[in-house]
Structure 1
């Protein structure tokens, strides 16, 4: 067999073996790596190159070595799942860099992190003042996570005592011009509903690159032709406007009538409608 063909076949074999081994190791191997996982990744890559190119030795020895490395990695990951002591030894613990707005210089030196590097990491979190940070920790992966002081945290519905419905994941119901039945069924809709919504905006499924439905059952579409502009869903805005109009009409009726009983009825209705609008406003205006 020609040497170039042998190298090609062994390279294909190495790619297949490496893919299978990586699938066994899981997604973590391709996201946030611990020190041991980083070493394992480099070694596995080197062994794959050895299997592909070293034609002077027995190629299957590289696969044996590769299997041993993957087996050790799986064993260590299993031990980490079962024992916190093993996790702390392999991955180490997080290091607190800022506490109560004060930078801990000793911990910075321990992690060999300069002030400039710390400030760079803070700026990536949209933090420009160290004193705005209540707590900052360097994770075993090397990432720095930040908790702002209460005064500097973004305002949320919880801070103002407002209850909101849980947000559901938007579903992609059209991809590349094809209707996806499973996502539609997930949110309790069907093709008939989708076709009705598409007809309302004058679009056919074949012209839609991506169509998504949010938690409020509103359809958003992106067309293949970027020159065409599709109006955004306005049902919630229209409903909010209708409620405000009803409120104004009731108040007008209350002012125009001379009957005390009717006036009181209109005032009560207006008050009840105002409360309803106040409760629905966060959902209808977002």
Structure 2
């Protein structure tokens, strides 16, 4: 076999083996890497690059070396899963960069991180003022995570003392112009419901690139033609407006009657409805 054909075959073989080994090592090899995973990725890549051009008959030794590296990586990952001490040694620990709103200069020097680089990392987390950061830590992967000071943290239902129901993930019911029956059945809907919703917005199935239904039964549509504007679902807004109208009607009925018993009933119903509106407002107005 000619050398160029030999190199081609070995390249394809190496590509297949490298793909299988990467699948075996798992998704962490293509996400945030630890120090050892970084070294492993570089080494396996270097070995894979040299195997196809080895024409002196020793190319198979490169494959053996790759297998040894993969075996060592799997063994070390197993050890780190089982042992906290091993994780601290191999993956290292997170380093606190900001504590109680104060920069720890010694830890910055330890990580060889300049103040400019720290500010860059903070800006990547939408923190543009150092005074807004209560706590910051550099993870073993090199990523910096930030905790904002209390007054700058986003408001959540729990911080307001509001209990909300769990929200299910949106289901894709149309993809590339094809209706997906299984996701429809998962949320308890069918094609008849979908046809009615599509008729409301005046869109045909074959013109839809993606359609999703959220946990509130609202249909969101993206078309192949981006020039066409599709109206957004108004179910929640309509329901909120209807509830407010009912509250106003009850107050008006209470003011328009001279019967004390009836007036008291309307006022009580208005107060109860106002409590209901206050509970559902975070859901209906977001």
Q: TM-score, normalised by structure 2?
A: 0.95
**1:169 counterpart residue number:** 169
Within 5 A, what are the aligned runs for 1:129-148? 129-148=129-148
Q: How far apart are the structure 2 equivalents of 1:92 and 1:275?
A: 52
The answer to which of 192-201 and 100-109 deviates more is 192-201
d(CA) in 1 for partners of 2:4 and 2:236?
Answer: 66
Worse-superposed segment, 228-237 or 20-29: 228-237
TM-superposed CA distance for 1:130, in Å, is: 2.2
Q: Deviations over 1:21-52 (max 9, x none)?
A: 00000000000111111111111111111222
Q: 2:157 is paired with a residue of what secondary structure?
A: coil
User: Counterpart of 2:97 in 1: which secondary structure?
Assistant: strand
Note the C-alpha offset of 1:85: 1.0
Query: What displacement does 1:190 show?
Result: 2.4
Matched, 1:225 2:225: yes
1:34 corresponds to 2:30? no
Write the mapping of 1:1-286 to structure 2, written as runs, cut at 5 A: 1-286=1-286
Scaled by the length of structure 1, the TM-score of the pair is 0.95
Distance 1:285 1:223 in 2: 26
Deviation string 1:142-167 (CA, Å, 9 cap, x unpaired) is 11111112122122222221222222
Q: Helix, strand or coil for the counterpart of 2:126?
A: coil
Cα separation, 2, equivalents of 1:280 and 1:96: 40
Helix, strand or coil at the partner of 2:273: helix
Q: How many residues align?
A: 286
1:99-118 Cα shifts (integer Å, max 9, x gaps): 11111111111111111111
Q: What 5-or-longer segments of structure 2 have no aligned partner?
A: none
Distance 2:133 2:166 in 1: 29
Bigger drift between 165-174 and 40-49 goes to 165-174
User: How far apart are 1:173 and its partner, in Å?
Assistant: 1.5
Deviates more, 1:125-134 or 1:115-124: 125-134
